Amino acid sequence: MHDKTIARIRHGLASGEFSSREICEHLLSRIDQLNPSCNAFISVSSELALQHADDADKRRAAGADSPLLGVPIAHKDIFCTNGVRTSCGSRMLENFVPPYNATVVDKLSQAGVVCLGKTNMDEFAMGSSNENSYFGNVVNPWGSNRVPGGSSGGSAAAVAARMVPGCTGTDTGGSIRQPASFCGITGIKPTYGRVSRYGMIAFASSLDQGGPMAATAEDCALLLQEMAGFDEKDSTSIDRPVDDYCGSLNDALDGLKVGLPKQYFTEGLDNNIAASLQASIAELEKMGASFVEVDLPNQHLSVPAYYVVAPAECSSNLSRFDGVRYGYRCDNPADLEDLYKRSRGEGFGREVKRRILIGTYVLSAGYFDAYYLKAQKIRNLISEDFTSAFKEVDMILGPTTPTPAFKIGENSADPVSMYLNDIYTIPANLAGLPGISVPCGLVDDLPVGMQLVGNYFTEARLLNVAHRFQQVTDWHLKSPAK
Amino acid sequence: MQWETVIGLEIHAQLATDSKIFSSSSTQFGSAPNTQANAVDLGMPGVLPVLNREAVNMAVKFALATNARIGKRNVFARKNYFYPDLPKGYQISQMALPIVGEGEVEIELEDDVKKTVGITRAHLEEDAGKSVHDLFHGQTGVDLNRAGTPLLEIVSEPDMRSAKEAVAYARKIHSLVRYIEICDGNMQEGSFRCDANVSVRVSGSEKLGTRAEIKNLNSFRFLERAINFEVERQIDIIEGGGEVVQETRLYDADRDETRSMRSKEEANDYRYFPDPDLLPVEIEDSLIEALRGQLPELPDQRCARFISEHKLPAYDAGVLTADKATADYFEAVLKQSGAPAKIVSSWVTGELFSRLNKDGLELTASPVDEHRFSGLLARIHDNTISGKIGKDILDKMWASEDEADHIIDKEGLRQISDSSELEKMIDDVIAANPSQLAEYRGGKEKLLSYFVGQVMKASRGKANPGQLNQLLKDKLKG
């Protein structure tokens, strides 16, 4: 029952094979059973979920239908959910219950989903291992000593362990794609502006983008179809019709031109991952795709530029957590300064504080030009690299991560080695481009992902290529779940 | 030593939009605390600002009214600092690319001398909330109703050389923003606030002295007094061998002094950077032209027209056009009453204004509207009543809803212009004052006013003064 994809669940619900309550009850009991060791969920809202499942069943019985009516999913705990605690993985928001929904939450609810709970994440989405959560680290279902990746590690682990067929995630520097790769699932970061950021707690506003995570590209298409679209409440969302992601899934790959960045296939990449990618390339060639080498000369600057821009924005975005209106407030503040210092000192974790400090520094008088402005210039160079490449090719293929899931604690002492995990994913965020991670092999019994990055608003094509790839491979069907 | 004062002003004009600059909350003044603050105004997690285009339109109108360069591409920036009434921990403002660039206004000084004051820039920003210190013992409350109200911060060049010039400039901006209806100008409610940058230097020196920024100047009177105090303070320091410190000072109206608020060292590093939640705003030429078409006649143009068209003295024209409501009132009365411009002008700026001042009322709240006021002036103009009786009638109109005509009829105040009636009264007065008549005829012509007074008294003030004068002179000659 739990191994069903969203597509399969839709079919089962529509045909009356099972009810939404049945599938939701099944998954909730599975969460009960697996979550204590996996820790993929921060909150499980069983009662509310079953109520919504019953509603969905009643509506269906009454002849209603909507694209995802009765389909169980979970939301990353960064999306505000009206009346349901939204912690963002932080002590700061441990008891925060928003009086509003994120637009993504509203849109998926309107499509009929039933939300089973809120998934674990690195605090304020800052991290690549889910070790930075105030609610404890998430364990990768593929290996009890392995991290699930981050920051959407809870979502990735929940799907990989088949506790839920699909989840929302957010991606600022790889936070959907890297955990998808580490957990053997599919995850897409759409074009910046394609999915509304309203009600999605901001980390770095110019980079953050919500997207779906699920076992298959088809399921990602089903979810993204409902999540995407212009939102007048988000000035950076783009007023442009949403493509038919599901309708083009089976399009032929004949004539598809794929670029292989020479900077990606170098010594820094794990040999076994390189081999998995080569095998995947061969599969795609069989279907009519052709491959050429492309040059992305400024790729090596993306991690340093990212670690200026993202902390700069986060230092300002997280200023609102001051202990005055909501969220954590220290006990017995002596005065205003003490209230600020202790509320923030006690409410935020180490990595968040590190990034606030870096961001405050790079925006300071005298450093702004040397760091922030320079990083913005590099950002333009990286975008231009892609623009040139997309004159030659339709999309770019490479690894999602340099290695498979690393061990818990392995990188936690060294922030720079942790940051380098996102070396392949960050460029797409800096340029605002869509990227998808697709399972493409197992290395030492751990899943690895292939990343496809397309031009702006080519989500449909990325999902199409990923789907066709999944028609001839079975890496996405492999699961550690018993 | 001769000292020269250098003053620049920063004026915060609250824009008269219905909703806030980045949220849909109402901007109405005086509501119960925190009833006009939604999730965006409260800086809740994940919420986003959406620009109110009306605020942009108002800023563009200001640029047009001051012949300023319009920032075709303008960018919102975050000004970061912590304060309880600043919900997001940053204020959305504009830094590098403001919506209004260099512009200028002309101010009138004494003796009809004119001076041009430069505007450096004006930018859009959101207002903060208010900290309430006296509501809860030992605690501070925060009211976020005002948070997110649109402000246009208008920064002048350091072009003013005295407190009087600074006040003339502030009044000019005040007049302009009300003319173009982008700000209600209410200083008590904080809709129009001034900060003054003041420094002194030795006359003839090119180099600017160290300045102090004076905050909290919520009336033109305080602006003038605070600058005068500050200038003396700075001169005293320098003449005493000291150095002026760059700092922010607060004006205390009760003590009529400025005092230090924070020094340069304590100043925040605001860490401005472009707000990634808001896209740059492009101002299209078509929008500029559409807004230009909506602009009313501006005070300078209207003043010039009052002089040429209504033949008013420059002083009268200046007073009448300083405020749009006054100019509108004047022109309405002029048209409806048919009275000459100079008469209407002196009645509006004299009798009407003195009564409004006495009652502490704005013209818009005048008990006598332009229609009733016209009715009164029409009767003076057609000699139905004298000006003196007119003043008494205005008092009565002030306290009632009655029209001038109604009061005149009811109280029989119609002016006596019937010469036979007047002649009879004159004859009676002359007959009753033989000795004064003899003196007058003996050359003491000053006694004319005595006779005028006596006849006026007999007519209970209703005698037509011009006619009376003429008739009386004839009769007294004998």
Quick one: B195 and B330 in the same domain? Answer: no
Say whether A19 is catalytic: no
pLDDT tier at A110 (50, 70, 90 boundaries)? very high
Quick one: B396 and B423 in the same domain? Answer: no
- Report the number of distinct structural domains present in chain B: 3
Helix residue ranges, H only, B84-216: 163-179
| Contact predicate A119/A41, CB 8 Å | yes
pLDDT of residue A66: 93
Task: Return the SS3 of A247.
Answer: coil
Query: Computed over its alpha carbons, how large is the radius of gyration of chain A?
Result: 21
pLDDT tens digits along B428-478: 899 899 888 888 888 888 888 899 998 888 888 888 888 888 888 888 887
Which residue ranges make up each domain of chain A?
1-482
Shortest alpha-carbon distance between residue A104 and chain B (Å): 12
The DSSP letter of residue A165 is S
Say whether A175 is catalytic: yes
Strand order in the sheet with B247-252: B103-108, B114-126, B150-156, B3-14, B192-202, B212-217, B247-252, B257-263
- CB pair distance less than 8 Å for B46 and A319: no
Quick one: B70 and B215 in the same domain? Answer: yes
Shortest alpha-carbon distance between residue A206 and chain B (Å): 5
Which residue from B49, B89, B278 is facing A319, i.e. has the nearest CB? Answer: B89
pLDDT tens digits along B156-194: 999 999 999 999 999 999 999 999 999 999 998 999 999
Mean pLDDT (chain A) is 96
| Contact predicate A403/A453, CB 8 Å | no
- CB pair distance less than 8 Å for B89 and A205: no
**Section B18-31 average pLDDT:** 94
| Contact predicate A118/A41, CB 8 Å | yes
Domain termination site, one of B253, B287, B321: B287
CATH class of A1-482: alpha beta
Domain termination site, one of B287, B307, B330: B287
**What's chain B's length in residues?**
478
Which has more pLDDT, B265 or A405?
A405
Shortest alpha-carbon distance between residue A421 and chain B (Å): 25
**Section B396-418 average pLDDT:** 87
| Contact predicate A83/A61, CB 8 Å | no
pLDDT of residue B371: 95
**Domain assignment of residue B292, yes or no:** no
Quick one: B215 and B342 in the same domain? Answer: no
Give the torsion sign (CA, B393, B398, B401, B403).
Answer: positive
Q: Is the pLDDT of residue B298 over 90?
A: yes
- CB pair distance less than 8 Å for B277 and A372: no
**What's chain A's length in residues?**
482
Domain termination site, one of B269, B287, B305: B287
Shortest alpha-carbon distance between residue A236 and chain B (Å): 6
Say whether A107 is catalytic: no
pLDDT of residue B317: 94
Interface test with A, best of B44, B131, B275 (most A CBs within 10 A): B44
Q: Is the pLDDT of residue A438 over 60?
A: yes
| Contact predicate A116/A155, CB 8 Å | no
B311 token code pair: 């033949």
Task: Return the SS3 of B37.
Answer: coil
Give the torsion sign (CA, A466, A471, A475, A479).
Answer: positive
Between vectors from CA A130 to CA A125 and to CA A135, what angle results, nearest 5°?
A: 90
- CB pair distance less than 8 Å for B271 and A363: yes
Quick one: B101 and B204 in the same domain? Answer: yes
What residues of A are in contact with residue B49 (Cβ under 8 Å)?
235
Contacts of B408 (CB under 8 A, 6+ apart): B379, B384, B385, B393, B414
**Domain assignment of residue B387, yes or no:** yes
Q: Is the pLDDT of residue B130 over 70?
A: yes
- Nearest CA to A46 out of A117, A108, A142, A149 is that of A117
Domain residue limits at B162: 3-287
Q: Is the pLDDT of residue B79 over 80?
A: yes
| Contact predicate A60/A112, CB 8 Å | no
Quick one: B86 and B209 in the same domain? Answer: yes
Point out which residues pair with A167 in neighbouring strands. Answer: A74, A213
Quick one: B404 and B427 in the same domain? Answer: no
pTM of the complete model:
0.90
User: For chain B, which residues lie within 8 Å of any Cβ of chain A, measuring from their own Cβ?
Assistant: 39, 42-51, 78, 80, 82, 84, 87-90, 142, 269, 271-273, 276-279
The DSSP letter of residue B105 is E
For residue B473, the domain's CATH number is 1.10.10.410
Mean pLDDT (chain B) is 93
Query: Computed over its alpha carbons, how large is the radius of gyration of chain B?
Result: 29
**Section B140-147 average pLDDT:** 94
**Section B44-54 average pLDDT:** 98
- Are β-strands A446-454 and B212-217 bridged in parallel, bridged antiparallel, or unpaired? unpaired
Burial letters for A307-324: b for 16+ Cβ neighbours within 10 Å, e otherwise? bbbbbbbbbbbbbbbbbb
pLDDT tens digits along A214-258: 999 999 999 999 999 999 999 999 999 999 999 999 999 999 999
Quick one: B461 and B357 in the same domain? Answer: no
A144 CB burial (10 A radius; 0-12, 13-18, 19+): exposed
**Domain assignment of residue B468, yes or no:** yes
Alpha-carbon gap, residue A222 to A220, rounded angstroms: 5
pLDDT of residue A482: 56
**Section B130-143 average pLDDT:** 88
Quick one: B226 and B88 in the same domain? Answer: yes
pLDDT of residue B461: 83
User: For chain A, which residues lie within 8 Å of any Cβ of chain B, measuring from their own Cβ?
Assistant: 78-80, 86, 88, 93, 96, 98-100, 102, 197-202, 204-206, 232-236, 312-313, 315-316, 318-322, 324-326, 336, 340, 360, 363-365, 368, 372
**Section A458-469 average pLDDT:** 98
Alpha-carbon gap, residue B325 to A316, rounded angstroms: 44
Quick one: B346 and B388 in the same domain? Answer: yes
**Section B189-217 average pLDDT:** 93
Distances in Å between the alpha carbon of A412 and those of A88, A114, A127, A142? 20, 35, 10, 20
Q: Is the pLDDT of residue B266 over 80?
A: no
**Section B132-155 average pLDDT:** 92
Quick one: B192 and B338 in the same domain? Answer: no
pLDDT of residue B418: 79
pLDDT tens digits along A193-208: 999 999 999 999 999 9
**Section B235-262 average pLDDT:** 91
Alpha-carbon gap, residue B34 to B38, rounded angstroms: 9
User: Quick one: chain B helix, strand, coil %, rounded to 5?
Assistant: 40, 20, 35
Q: Is the pLDDT of residue A474 over 80?
A: yes
Which residue from A80, A316, A326 is facing B78, i.e. has the nearest CB? Answer: A316
pLDDT of residue A481: 67
| Contact predicate A197/B268, CB 8 Å | no
Alpha-carbon gap, residue A313 to A236, rounded angstroms: 15
Which has more pLDDT, B465 or B289?
B289
pLDDT tens digits along A351-376: 999 999 999 999 999 999 999 999 99
- Nearest CA to A166 out of A202, A210, A110, A113 is that of A113
